[in-house]
Every structure is written in structure tokens, then in C-alpha cells.
A and B are shown apart, each in its own frame.
Chain A
Amino acid sequence: MGIQFKEVSFQYPGWGKQFFEALKDISLTINDKDEFIALVGETGSGKSTLAQHMNALIFPTSGTVEINGVPITAKRNKKIKYNSIRQQIGLVFQFPEYQLFEETVEKDIMFGPKNFRVPEEEAREMAKKALNMVGLSDKYLTRNPFNLSGGEKKRVSIAGILAMNPKILILDEPTSGLDPAGKKLLMNLFKSIQKETGKTIIIITHDMDLVYEYTNRVLVLNEGMLEFDGTPDYLFHRHDIDKWHLDYPATISVLRSINDKFHYNLDIYQKTIDAAVSTIAKAVQS
């Protein structure tokens, strides 16, 4: 089970029959348990396109995406229940505006559960709970989702997918637009969901600090090709990541600059600020 990409390519139809190849020959296996994956890469490298293949929102031009055992190919198959796939694999869009559509926040978050036959009252409870989990109070239930601030919209769109309780959670830039406290709250929420339920979580992000601190596997896309698949430690030990438009996490950069300046020999590969602090403290005190 999980998601398997088998030699997947995808072309967007463009102007005057000029096709644009957004994904090129991708092969990849994602387990449905115990993974916390970061999907990273240059602007326009194909991350959102790849994510939309994972819940059958778009179909490969060639190759197969197997989602929990169901093969998705270029041809639509009447026997496949695409809706059920979209319930199993929850995808939060990059722009919340593409996801919100009801007239109140409550209805919007309830839509998913109701659509999948959860009774009204239960769906209402789930909506409230999901809203609180993303750091918004009950006051927001009656608000129109289109009249919220950018970060509030983002939170509501995430709550909508959380309330569906999918088996795998994919979040396209979940922290863009969030304030620092919200970013921490949500990343810790994803982490605890991952720990407690074992569900696989995939985030698309440009924030290397998050990649390093929270995830255990990184996929790097470059011009539609999968060019790296490995642990964050392995990635950040490389010296050529700028060719993928990536950067080093701040902890690594700060520790590296201290080594350079003071000729220390600190282990720079620290995932959290706390770990970086104790690494320095130990060196200073000895």
C-alpha cells in the first residue's frame, strides 16, 4: 500500500499544441506509514504537479501512479472510485483560495466529512475540533472564509483536510503566510499526528529549517526530474545543493560560521536550536 510512481511523465497542454513537460520519468515509492517527507526544489520544478498526482487530481500522461493498490494511468477507468482516493489522500492546496468555497468557515470544514457520509452533528464537532487544532477559536465558525486574512485562510484550508481524517496527508506549502507562532503550532501538530497515528505526511516547502527539524526523507525535484531521494542529513552534507536552488538550515549555517571564524571543530549538523546551543556550550565549557 502507499503510493508508487512508475515511470511517470506529465505534460500540460500549452499554447498552440505546444506541450510543457512538467514531470519527467518519475519513479518513486511512498509508504503509507511512518514517513515524514519534504518535497523541495526550485520554483516551477514540478512539486505541486507531483502532489496532485498523489490523489488523482491529475493523471499521468504516461506511466502509472498506484495509489493504495489502485493504478492510475492516462486513461480514466469507470471502475475506479476517484472520490474515495481523494478521501484517503488529503491534499491541502498551495493557495487556500482554491480550496475554500462555502459561505461559512464551519460549512467549509464540514464539507469533507459530510461528503464522506459522516452524520451532520458529528461533522460539526469534527469541524470545531479541526479549527481549534489550527489555532483559531470558535468565533471563526460563522465567518465567511473569503473575508479572512491570508494566514487565517491558510489555517481554515488545513483544518478542512484534517477534518477528513485522510490516511496520508499532503500539504503544499502549509506554512507560507503563517506567523511564527502558527508555523510552530502547525508543524508540531503534523509531527504529533505523524507520531500518534503513524500516518505518512508530505510537505512541500522552501523552508530548509523545517525540512531539517521535522522530516525524515527529502525528495528534490529539478526541472521535472527527481534528482535526490534520501535523508535530510545526507542532503545537507552535500556541497552542491545550490544547483537545486536550495539553502542550508540556519542551525548549520550559524555553526559553520562559528567553526570558520574561531577555528572550532563543532559538529555543525544539529537539527534544532536547542541542539545547536548545547553543542556550542559544551565546546565553550571544556
Chain B
Amino acid sequence: MSYIDIQNINFAYHPKRPILQNLSLSIDKGQWIAILGHNGSGKSTLAKAIIGLLEPDFGTIDIDGMTLSPTTVYEIRKKIGIVFQNPDNQFVGVTVRDDIAFGMENLGVPQAEMLEKIDFYAEKVGMKAFLDKEPAELSGGQKQRVAIAGILAMQMDAIIFDEATSMLDPTARRELMDYIRELHNEGLTIIMITHDIEEALWAQRLVIIKDGTVFRQGTREELLKEPVTFIEAGLELPVGLQISNALKQMNALSLELEEHLWESSLKK
């Protein structure tokens, strides 16, 4: 049985406007998947359903063998966390320190351990000098880093990142992704919602959502061989592969060059 098992869910904010439609998706423990899809396709809605913030109108969601319901939702939120698309939705405290502590407090982490972890994770995301600031006094990218630190500090089984790095500079993003990979190697299950194909390729499996349902899923290698899938879903291939495909059409692509473009596009 998969760690997260979504079976045929439907969801609508308004009866006349169905959003998620017959959506099924399974994610194994320790897997890293990326979710791609056009604006309004239902990615954030799906994320909120997985952590029980929205209740599907139909279908079931099982997490770690438990079926999500009003009685299991609190147990499940100790296993799986989310970094929201808008970091302001994550902030409740007066200071950055309070905000990183908030999730841990809910888990009942002892005070001394909590203080240690606040320092550790603030350092990891490069925000240690900002612990006494108010969240409102941070820049966009700084807010995103604090939101991420708060969830990492909870040390859960699985984390959903909903476009959580969209405002980081290239260096900060690479550093963070390297760290996330370390956590993944230690067993963290990761669901990364993103519009950035380069970021998506850190994952083993890609899931493309279109109009509220899974349009296509597979390993990175499988899906990247289907440029048509990307076009139909309104997505883009990495630049190296766009170049490779264009050269091929012009009969100007040697085998060695093709191999090089693929290798360098997939290397993370």
C-alpha cells in the first residue's frame, strides 16, 4: 500500500464549478514527486485536500494506512506538512522565532529541544539573523524561507511544497534544493508543486494536472520524451531539450550531442 493513496476524488467550491474530477494518485513512502499544471488546474486545491483542509465531495484519501476524516485529520497533520503558496498564510506569531516555533508547539516538542531546532533550521534557510524581526518586516523571499523553516522543523514524514521557492534567488534556491535532497535521502517524502521544470526535475516522478485531474504521470525520463504532452498541458520542456528537439527536426543533431543535452538537462 502506498503512503498517500488518493482514490477518485471530486471537489467543488461551488456546485456549478467542479474543480477536482476523478482524481487518483498514489505516492510511496520516501518518494519525491513534482506536480505541474496550468494556473487554476487544481494543484493547491489537491494539496489542501491531502492535509484535510478541504473535504472531497466524493472519493477517499488514505495516508499511512489511515483514511482521512474529521477524526483522523489531527493525527495525519502530525505526519504530513504543507508550505503554502502564500507564506503570509503560514504566519501567526509576532516574531520570526514564534513562527518557526508554531508548528513544533502544536506537536508538543519540549522547550529546550525547540529552541535548538529554531536555531538549526533558521540557519539552514539563512534566516538566523532575522529571528527577532516581525514577519511583516521581511522581503518576499525571506518570508518564503521562514515558512519553509517552520515546516522543516516539525520533522514530519512528508512535506508538500506549494510553489514554496518561487521568490528565492538562484543561489538560495539551489542551496535549499540541495538541503531538501539531503532530507529526501534520509527518507522524507516530498510533493513539490511548481511551474519551474528545472525544479521539477529534482523529483523522480512527474505528475501533470490538467483541468482538475491527472493528465499524465511517469518518471522524468518517460515524460520528457513526450514533448506533445507538455504542449497539450501548457507546459514547457527544459531549455536543453527544447534545443535538442529543434535540432533533431532540422536533422542537425548528432547522437553525441543529443546524449549530452539529455544528460546535462537531467543532472541536478
Contacts and interface: CB of A to CB of B under 8 A. Distances in A.
B40 interface: yes
B172 A250 contact: no
A178 B195 contact: yes
A149 B257 contact: no
Nearest to A182: B39
A182 B236 CA distance: 11
A44 B169 CA distance: 10
A119 interface: no
Contact of B167 (A12, A41, A94, A262): A94
Contact of B252 (A147, A250, A281): A281
A237 B22 CA distance: 50
Given A94-B140, A152-B40, A180-B235, A246 B169 contact: yes
A257 interface: yes
A254 B243 contact: yes
Contacts of A44: 138-139, 141-142
A273 B169 contact: no
Nearest to A285: B252
Given A152-B40, A155-B39, A247-B170, A177 B195 contact: yes
Query: Quick one: which of A97, A150, A151, A250 has the most chain B CB within 10 A?
Result: A150
A254 B239 contact: yes
Interface string B247-268: 1001011101100110010000
Given A206-B170, A250-B240, 15 more contacts: A43-B172, A95-B86, A95-B140, A147-B13, A149-B44, A155-B39, A176-B163, A183-B195, A246-B169, A246-B171, A247-B170, A254-B239, A254-B261, A273-B246, A274-B246
A276 interface: yes
B85 to A, nearest CB: 5
Interface in A226-275: 242, 245-247, 250-251, 254, 257-258, 261-262, 273-274
Contacts of A41: 169
Interface string B128-168: 00001100011111100100000000000000000100111
A69 interface: no
Contacts of A183: 195
Given A273-B246, A277-B243, A242 B171 contact: yes
Kindly state the interface size class of chain A when it binds its partner.
35 or more
Nearest to B265: A254
Contacts of A12: 137
A43 B141 CA distance: 5
B195 to A, nearest CB: 5
B170 A281 contact: no
Instruction: List the 9 closest pairs (A to B, CB-CB), nearest first.
Output: A151-B39, A43-B141, A247-B170, A250-B239, A180-B236, A245-B171, A281-B252, A245-B169, A181-B234
Interface of B: 13, 37-40, 44, 85-86, 88, 132-133, 137-142, 145, 163, 166-173, 195, 197, 234-236, 238-240, 242-243, 246-247, 250, 252-254, 256-257, 260-261, 264
A258 B260 contact: yes
A225 interface: no
A251 B88 CA distance: 35
Contact of A150 (B145, B163, B168, B242): B163
Contacts of A261: 260
Instruction: Name A's interface SS.
Output: helix
Contact of B235 (A179, A242, A251, A257): A179
Contact of A245 (B39, B132, B172, B257): B172
A252 B253 CA distance: 18
A246 B170 contact: yes
Contacts of B88: 95, 97
Contacts of A273: 239, 242-243, 246
Q: Which of B163, B195, B264: most chain A Cβ within 10 A?
A: B195
Contact of A97 (B44, B86, B132, B139): B86
Nearest to B250: A281
Nearest to A139: B17
6 contacts: A48-B140, A180-B235, A206-B173, A208-B170, A276-B239, A280-B247
A42 B174 CA distance: 13
Contacts of B169: 41-43, 206, 245-246
A178 B39 contact: yes
A206 B168 contact: yes
Contacts of A277: 243, 246-247, 250
Contacts of B141: 43-44
Most buried by A among B140, B236, B250, B261: B140
B140 A42 contact: no
A270 to B, nearest CB: 10
A242 B132 CA distance: 29
Interface in A166-190: 173, 176-183
